[in-house]
Structure 1
Amino acid sequence: MTDSPELLTVVYQFTGGLDREAAIYRQLLASSLRHEDEFELKPVESDLSTSDIIELLSKIDSKYVVFVQDSHLLGPNYLGAMLDYLQRRNVYIAEPFMFTGAIPKKVAETKTTQDYFFKRDTDIYGAVYHTRRLREFFEAVNNIDRSSVYVSYRLYWNIQNIAPLPVGYSVSTNTKAAIGHILDASATRLFPLIKSSSLELRIYIIRSLAHYLRGLRSTGRSSISARHISELTTMFSLEQLIRLVKPLQPFEAAWIESFIVPKDIGFLYKNLTSVDAYLVFEEAIKEREDSVLLYTIKFSDRSTFISKVYRPTSLRQSNNDPSVYDHYSKKITPESVLIFFDRPMQADDNAEYLYEYFVANYPEYKNSYFALNPKSEDWSRLEQKGFNLIPIFTTEFYEMFLESDLVVSSQIYNLQYQGKNLGNSRFVYLQHGVQLNDMSDWVNSKFFDVFVATGKPEEEYLAKYAPYETLNSGLPRLESLIRKSTNQKQLLFLPTWRFNLNNSSTENFIRSEYFQAINGPLTNKELLEHLEANNATLQVKLHPNVAVRSSLFSFSERVIKTEASYRDAITMSDFVFTDYSSAVLDASFIGIPIAYYPWDIKTFFKEQPYESRLDYKEQGLGPVFDSEDEIVQHIISFEYEKYNDEFDERKRIFFEGVDPKRINAKIVDKMLGL
């Protein structure tokens, strides 16, 4: 081993304990066999901030440094290619091709188009920095967030273009587009105001700005000034790049536009039938009719009030533009094309049940289609039921979408084709479940003409953000739910998922509180004896993300991993319990007793991009148990079979306004009137 400094230091960031069996960690260790004299692996347990990075750099002697996170993915030759490249030259920065999903097999064939740049994660991870140059950069620029370091470093050293090395690095997810990014409290600007004509860097800047604004909707407060945002939009001519933001982050696109060219009338956000929804950004709230205040945002130098304002469609400026087609100009008639769908690979949700009701009761609408992937296990089943099927997300599907007068779905996807999208056409959102958590930021980001609610509490919550669009009808699948009798008593456990375990090794997964809390009841001696004595079974419906690890759980003759659909599993059960799944509400709706087993409720929502709206102990439709012993005692004592007037009253309040026999009829009346 040489005494000279290594060529490269790999700062390996991990959380929740070092998982030495994680694939990325083992991959880095394996590389040390070939390159042990050239790089040092430095594990760090923390969520790195800018100040953490500056402190780390003072302790690193290597010529280059790279930051890697345990939840990310490395291409097979990532480290070898980087070291070979760095040995032959002096560079300010070297980087791989960056991805937000799987790393393609032919990485070198990746085209660095504008779309690639906009999707590329620009956090500090994956790129190799010249250590001394990075220290010098921080001496000049140290009041930025960690996520801004990569772009700011390139701005500072005038590195306008980089040819990526033919290896891949993936952050595995694109959640920033959905939930945004929350800056370090010490950050006082997003980027240094150093002018650059590089299209690549300007795309990165508007991408980061959109993620910052999305995160700001969650926090409501920023140490960044609104003036700084305005200066960024001007200096980097971001008005030319708004089109990149609009497809996935239309709310943030309108917000960025408000910094460039403020409009008193606001920005048209969603076309509706008789009125349109506008987003208005202003420094003082104005009293007006048909308006809801969505956010109060406090920048370091001023406040911004964001409202949704409903105005008559006659005021729509595009009415006089012959190049803009009005997709509401045709009324919905029996000749209209209507498209229904659930998930691409799975039906058996609210769209399927509403479609079945619709074609049975409105046979004159002969151009009603249900979209699904032909490879789905549900395709042949629906074919046998006589569904008019079309392959989802194909050219045929998009051509039909362009022709359609209405889309109805239990999921929201970014449908766009030849200028048509869900923002300028009719869309009925049926939901998959009930909004038990505060998803208001997500709701405000989506386009819909109708948003189906289940019960008065959810209706009142949604009406704060979408008063015209909210419909309290209940979910279509609820209307056809019927309890089924079985030959033996059947209990059902519906655990949800924890995102922080996505890339855990098997050993780390087994050690996790999540695995222990689920497997505990499955192996509980008292519960197993109870099941045997009463000829009962405990059915366990694992979340799809856990299915690949199902062999790790202790299933047995009495504890069974069910392959039944959620619908069948629930309707055949005598008792259903979960940690947080809203699916238990289906059981409660048809009189099946439920309970909650949220073993990690004190920490669960700290790792989620949302907070619970429901106080399970005060508003839940069943009792709450924090421990394995408590839920087991509730079962073996048959306590769940006893009538409880408190839970019955909570159920009445929760489902108030839902007519079990007219759920589908109420939705159809609304959608045909759009």
Structure 2
Amino acid sequence: MPPLLTIVLEEPGTVDRETDMYRRLVAARLRFDSEFAIQQSQEPLTTQVIARLCQEIGSTYIVFMKTSHQLSANYVSSMITYLRNRTVYLAEPVIYTGTLPKNVARNELKDPYHYARDTDVYGPAFNTRRLADALQAIGDVDRSALYLSYRLYWSIGNVRPLPTGFSVASDTKAAIGLQLSEEALRLVPLIPAVSKPLRLYVLRFLVLFLRGMRVQKATAVGLAHLRELVVNYQLVELLGMVEPLQPFEAAWVRWLEDPGADKHLYKQLSREDIYLLFETGQAYGNQDLLLYELLFGEDIVRIGKSYLPRSLRPGHARPGSYNFYERPIGPKSGILFFDRPMQADDNAEHLYDYFRSAHPEYTEAWFALNPKSPDWERLEAKGFKLVPIFSPEFYENFLVSDLVVSSQIYNVRYRGKSFANSRFVYLQHGIQLNDMTDWLLSKYFDVFIATGQFEADYMGKLAPVETLNSGLPRMETLAREEHQPSHLLFMPTWRFNLHQASTEQFLQSRYFGAIEGLLKDPALLRFLEETDRRLEVKLHPNVEKRSGLFTFSERVVQSTLSYREAIRGAEMVFTDYSSAVLDAAFIRVPIAYYHWDRAEFFRDQPYEGRLDYEEEGLGPVFSDHTGVIDHIVKERFALQDPMYEARRRRFFHGVDPERINQKIVERMLAL
């Protein structure tokens, strides 16, 4: 007799049996062994593969999962208990994108839940026969649209989730979007639906598709189908869910509904406004900047950016009704600075320190930070005017401030005010070495701080009015402080494809193997001992929770220093791809690159590289373990190389180490 439920695990290799998810599935067999089965699919779950599985599997219900997903301890029991005595088309848990909460609150599922909910096939239990029947009609949609198309096809307007949770453990789709299979000819079927959750799901799916199109560039899905979706499901009415985090796509959806309205107000500036312009056809219109040229079936869509006088804006239309630019910045202005909530010592702190010294007449300049941050007491002792970040006081300060200055971009919105309609100076945390075009064009800023000609030239093609080639404030501090070398410094960055890796998968990754091999290298350890040196290893924040897996020792230590302290005290700094080493290069500390996975690094990242490290890098590049160890133990890093010095000057051209803060302040006070 076939089981009631089959759980299909999408896993191309050996199933990792140490994951919490797999162990919970196996444990459930003690109670429900005869009622559910686990089946592995080593091929990706495309629409066609799922259609075949529905024909092959004899269970009444089918669920799709990956071993990297998370599920509540009672997931299987809740499903089996619910399905055992009834016949339904669909049963689903509460779906999350982040970490599963301890208590699943199914009664509090409001519009934000439905819009943010992952709409892929993973997690819900489908009626196997009904899914097979539906696939005969909706088999031309991408797998990522099957859940939504299934509900539309069978008119399943509202679903009350079971009191158990499932998480895909990642919300990367919100950042990089969806790229559909070449076979997909439409997003979802055009079947009338009045259910608001279903319309929100359609909206999210469309937005993620449009976001992915900025990368994919071409699709077989036609423009007419997209317009029918927007009109049929009345999606413009729901755009309030989209604009806070995906403003670019919100403007796009508005244009799809009304192609005649080709100019869309995007961001207010001091002297003009930024508009997104949409056009179709072969002719190229009069746009300041052409951002994208995309192909939808046989239709060409061009998206551009124009700077138009503020006088052209009708009234004070979107994105806000109050003119937050009306009052000029002056000594009575409120100015709000912040870095990360739990960590200062970045560009905002260093600029704030300079600003309060150079302009003491600005008495309402505040620095926001979490009171639990280890930096709170230090900044309080320095005399910083502190406000708890994201507290009621913070938001009130934000509302009345004339300017916000930060090294981070957060979605700060309060009582009609946001960065779309108010002044914001983005100091950055790093330097744009990679092609982050899609991410940057989705963000609001009045000023973007660039560091040198390499970055300024890139940003000038995206935001020529907003870009300021001044350098980062923390670099002026580094250049001013005394440099006393006391250690070597290794700063590996992160790998996007390890976000959902289990401990076993992480230990088997090339990333762990390369770093661990270096930390334990006998020649390196011997060199450090003989020369009385120490190697400080500054792990990426995403790796901190796994730091116990690495082999540290007396001479190779996990660094607890701040980035500035670690770089200031370094005799040499090396990394794989982190832009943080450029701070060291700026103050002429030798740097090097260890690219152990150069062949696949950018293939697994959500961006493409722009810097040719071999031809433009500010230090030597090594692709193998032996090369980088040899460079260190033979102290070749101590030899000055005129080629790298010449590259350094070209890279940082335009940056005056003594006037970084002054240049930024002059620009921000003139907004």
Q: Shorter-chain TM-score category?
A: over 0.9
Matched, 1:516 2:502: no
Shift of 1:489: 4.8
| Gaps in structure 2 of 5+ consecutive residues | none
Match of residue 189 from structure 2: 192
C-alpha contact (below 8 Å) 1:9/1:42 kept by paired residues: yes
Matched, 1:437 2:437: no
In structure 2, do the counterparts of structure 1 residues 108 and 660 end up closer, same or farther at CA, with 3 Å as the change threshold?
closer
After TM superposition, the structure 1 stretch with the greater mean CA deviation from structure 2, 16-25 or 390-399, is 16-25
Match of residue 617 from structure 1: 614
Match of residue 286 from structure 2: 288
Shift of 1:326: 0.6
**What secondary structure does 2:573 align onto?**
strand
Between the aligned partners of 1:46 and 1:480, the Cα distance in structure 2 is 53
Matched, 1:600 2:597: yes
Instruction: Give the structure-2-normalised TM-score.
Output: 0.97
Matched, 1:158 2:118: no
How many residues were matched structurally?
Answer: 669
Structure 1 letter corresponding to 2:246 = Q
Match of residue 221 from structure 2: 224
**What secondary structure does 1:417 align onto?**
coil
Q: Which aligned pairs between 1:273-422 and structure 2 lie closer than 5 A? A: 273-284=270-281, 285-288=283-286, 291-319=288-316, 324-422=321-419
**What secondary structure does 1:596 align onto?**
strand
**What secondary structure does 2:622 align onto?**
coil
Matched, 1:140 2:104: no
Between the aligned partners of 1:644 and 1:373, the Cα distance in structure 2 is 44
In structure 2, do the counterparts of structure 1 residues 320 and 593 end up closer, same or farther at CA, with 3 Å as the change threshold?
closer
Shift of 1:557: 1.2
Q: Which of residues 4, 7, 10 in structure 2 aligns to 1:10? A: 7
Shift of 1:637: 1.2
In structure 2, do the counterparts of structure 1 residues 510 and 141 end up closer, same or farther at CA, with 3 Å as the change threshold?
same
Between the aligned partners of 2:397 and 2:467, the Cα distance in structure 1 is 27
Matched, 1:149 2:146: yes
Match of residue 547 from structure 2: 550
Between the aligned partners of 1:656 and 1:16, the Cα distance in structure 2 is 49
C-alpha contact (below 8 Å) 2:486/2:569 kept by paired residues: no
Q: Which of residues 555, 558, 575 in structure 2 aligns to 1:561? A: 558
Between the aligned partners of 2:43 and 2:23, the Cα distance in structure 1 is 20
Structure 1 letter corresponding to 2:15 = L
- Residue-by-residue CA offset, 1:454-507 (whole Å, 9 max, x unaligned): 111111101111111011001110001046555x75111101112333343333
Matched, 1:105 2:102: yes
Structure 2 letter corresponding to 1:155 = L
In structure 2, do the counterparts of structure 1 residues 550 and 623 end up closer, same or farther at CA, with 3 Å as the change threshold?
same
Matched, 1:49 2:24: no
- Residue-by-residue CA offset, 1:570-616 (whole Å, 9 max, x unaligned): 11010100011110000000010000012111111111110011111
Matched, 1:648 2:645: yes
In structure 2, do the counterparts of structure 1 residues 337 and 17 end up closer, same or farther at CA, with 3 Å as the change threshold?
farther
In structure 2, do the counterparts of structure 1 residues 502 and 287 end up closer, same or farther at CA, with 3 Å as the change threshold?
closer
Shift of 1:529: 1.1
Matched, 1:657 2:658: no
Shift of 1:16: 5.6
In structure 2, do the counterparts of structure 1 residues 636 and 473 end up closer, same or farther at CA, with 3 Å as the change threshold?
same
In structure 2, do the counterparts of structure 1 residues 178 and 323 end up closer, same or farther at CA, with 3 Å as the change threshold?
closer
Between the aligned partners of 1:265 and 1:193, the Cα distance in structure 2 is 25
Q: Which aligned pairs between 1:265-276 and structure 2 lie closer than 5 A? A: 266-276=263-273
Matched, 1:85 2:82: yes
Between the aligned partners of 1:328 and 1:46, the Cα distance in structure 2 is 55
Shift of 1:303: 0.4
In structure 2, do the counterparts of structure 1 residues 264 and 539 end up closer, same or farther at CA, with 3 Å as the change threshold?
same
C-alpha contact (below 8 Å) 1:22/1:503 kept by paired residues: no
Match of residue 36 from structure 2: 39
Between the aligned partners of 1:23 and 1:501, the Cα distance in structure 2 is 16
Match of residue 233 from structure 1: 230
Matched, 1:178 2:175: yes
C-alpha contact (below 8 Å) 2:592/2:621 kept by paired residues: yes
Shift of 1:37: 0.6
Q: Which of residues 461, 471, 475 in structure 2 aligns to 1:474? A: 471
C-alpha contact (below 8 Å) 1:22/1:504 kept by paired residues: no
Shift of 1:264: 4.8
After TM superposition, the structure 1 stretch with the greater mean CA deviation from structure 2, 31-40 or 129-138, is 31-40
Between the aligned partners of 1:484 and 1:389, the Cα distance in structure 2 is 28
Between the aligned partners of 2:659 and 2:665, the Cα distance in structure 1 is 10
After TM superposition, the structure 1 stretch with the greater mean CA deviation from structure 2, 26-35 or 13-22, is 13-22
Shift of 1:159: 0.8
Between the aligned partners of 1:42 and 1:170, the Cα distance in structure 2 is 20
- Provide the alpha-carbon RMSD of the alignment: 1.6
Between the aligned partners of 1:119 and 1:64, the Cα distance in structure 2 is 26
In structure 2, do the counterparts of structure 1 residues 515 and 302 end up closer, same or farther at CA, with 3 Å as the change threshold?
same
After TM superposition, the structure 1 stretch with the greater mean CA deviation from structure 2, 474-483 or 16-25, is 16-25
C-alpha contact (below 8 Å) 1:489/1:535 kept by paired residues: no
Between the aligned partners of 1:109 and 1:93, the Cα distance in structure 2 is 16
Shift of 1:105: 2.4
Structure 1 letter corresponding to 2:286 = R
After TM superposition, the structure 1 stretch with the greater mean CA deviation from structure 2, 219-228 or 547-556, is 547-556
Structure 1 letter corresponding to 2:649 = R
**What secondary structure does 2:373 align onto?**
coil
Match of residue 500 from structure 1: 497
Shift of 1:104: 2.3
Shift of 1:17: 4.2
Match of residue 258 from structure 2: 261
Between the aligned partners of 2:319 and 2:357, the Cα distance in structure 1 is 39
C-alpha contact (below 8 Å) 1:233/1:260 kept by paired residues: yes
C-alpha contact (below 8 Å) 2:106/2:162 kept by paired residues: no
Percent identity between the two aligned chains? 52
Structure 2 letter corresponding to 1:217 = R
- Residue-by-residue CA offset, 1:639-658 (whole Å, 9 max, x unaligned): 11111111111111110100
Shift of 1:124: 0.6
After TM superposition, the structure 1 stretch with the greater mean CA deviation from structure 2, 168-177 or 87-96, is 168-177
C-alpha contact (below 8 Å) 1:103/1:169 kept by paired residues: yes
- Residue-by-residue CA offset, 1:534-569 (whole Å, 9 max, x unaligned): 111111111122222222211111111111011111
Between the aligned partners of 1:188 and 1:646, the Cα distance in structure 2 is 52
Shift of 1:629: 0.7
In structure 2, do the counterparts of structure 1 residues 47 and 373 end up closer, same or farther at CA, with 3 Å as the change threshold?
farther
Between the aligned partners of 1:581 and 1:389, the Cα distance in structure 2 is 31
After TM superposition, the structure 1 stretch with the greater mean CA deviation from structure 2, 508-517 or 280-289, is 280-289
Between the aligned partners of 2:316 and 2:580, the Cα distance in structure 1 is 43
Instruction: Give the structure-1-normalised TM-score.
Output: 0.97
After TM superposition, the structure 1 stretch with the greater mean CA deviation from structure 2, 166-175 or 306-315, is 166-175
| Gaps in structure 1 of 5+ consecutive residues | none
C-alpha contact (below 8 Å) 1:12/1:44 kept by paired residues: yes
In structure 2, do the counterparts of structure 1 residues 256 and 531 end up closer, same or farther at CA, with 3 Å as the change threshold?
same
Between the aligned partners of 1:661 and 1:14, the Cα distance in structure 2 is 55
Match of residue 576 from structure 1: 573
- Residue-by-residue CA offset, 1:402-431 (whole Å, 9 max, x unaligned): 111100000001111111110000000000
